[in-house]
A = this chain, B = another copy of it.
Amino acid sequence: MIVPAEEARNLATRVLRLHGAPEAHAQLQVDLLLEAELRGFASHGLLRLPRIVERIRNGVADPAAIGSPEWILPGFLRIDGQMGLGPVIALKALDEICEHARQVGVAVAAIHNSNHLGMLAWYAERVAEADQIALCFSTSEALVHPWGGREAMIGTNPIAIGIPARPFPFVMDMATSLVAMGKIHDYANRGEAIPDQWALDRNGEPTTDPEAAKSGAIAPFGGAKGYALGLAFELLVSALARSALGKSVQGTLDSTNVCNKGDVFIVLSPGTDSGCNNELSRYLDAIRNCAPIEGFSSVSIPGDRSRMCRAERLKSGICLPDDVWRELQALANWENHQGGL
């Protein structure tokens, strides 16, 4: 079904308010989920809200927590997220290191004990819009097999990079897995075979059966190189945030475990020089104007398509599966149900 964005925002905010989130925290969390819907990334959208609510109910997410940041070195902010909502803890940390980076050129935040960050582009864009550069990393449950290996041992470990440009910043955001596990679930729901090379089954054999892939392992993107990158990000985040590694990671896909992945932000401020940005913006436009090969109508810069999608959906509404919308409505009426028990 199609829902106006503001209607979805109000309903989702009400759900979180009912489950103990202060107004500001509810707004941040919902804005993050809604921005994912608007940009066409449903896997990071409102379907995540019921899981967040379950985690609050189970005591493994604290919607009121604001985290405990500590500058362990003058340029290194370590944050115990106190089981808070991912975007609440992260934005607080990000704002602090952005301010610091503006003074000294660079600062890093390493977050542990915080919940799922959601779409990393949301953070990278915020930094780039303020004329700073962001490198954002997060780890996840082990869903990806090492190159040549049979077993899922590495997270889908996304990276986002935000860089100031005109008329809008450059923002790229990608997982280091070949596909999202959500996409494999989509194929399973539709009863379709997944392409070769996407995944292994639980025995480490290649499979085109999405049901078998769900309990197996996804391939890294880009073969050995993507494997090397995803692994490097896992180690980088763990070394900086002292978060769990590989199969020990839990709490972003389940409703019962304290989340022990880590998040890292590096913010850089190269000083003020808009001339540089002008050249960079012209370069991006030159790439957009590159003649396309057969099968492409044009060349895109990362972020272009989600920006167009956003503009369209702000007008026409977001597209939600019926059951997700019904579940949100039920959660928003939870109080009444509770009263009826």
Contact = CB atoms under 8 A, between A and B. Distances in A.
A239 B270 contact: yes
A89 interface: no
B276 A148 contact: no
A118 to B, nearest CB: 19
B75 A104 contact: yes
A interface secondary structure, majority: mixed
A72 B272 CA distance: 11
Nearest to A232: B161
Contact of A225 (B226, B239, B242): B226
Contact of A231 (B107, B226, B235, B301): B301
A193 interface: no
Most buried by B among A110, A174, A229: A229
Contacts of A245: 279-280, 283
Contact of A292 (B150, B228, B295): B150
Interface string A172-198: 101000000000000000000000000
A263 to B, nearest CB: 14
Interface string A272-304: 010011011001101100111101101111100
In the complex, which of the residues A106, A110, A204, A286 has the most CB atoms of chain B within 10 Å of its own CB atom? A106
B150 A106 contact: no
A163 B232 contact: yes
Q: How many copies does the complex hold?
A: 2
Contacts of A239: 133, 163-164, 270, 276-277, 280
A240 B270 contact: yes
A88 B273 CA distance: 28
Nearest to A297: B148
A291 B105 contact: no
A22 interface: no
A159 B242 CA distance: 23
A228 B302 contact: yes
Interface of A: 72-76, 101, 103-108, 110, 133, 135, 145-151, 153-154, 159, 161, 163-165, 170, 172, 174, 200, 204, 206, 221-223, 225-226, 228-229, 231-232, 235-236, 238-240, 242, 245-246, 266, 268-271, 273, 276-277, 279-280, 283-284, 286-287, 290-293, 295-296, 298-302
15 contacts: A74-B103, A75-B101, A76-B106, A106-B266, A133-B236, A135-B135, A149-B287, A153-B287, A154-B287, A228-B302, A231-B287, A239-B277, A242-B273, A242-B276, A245-B283
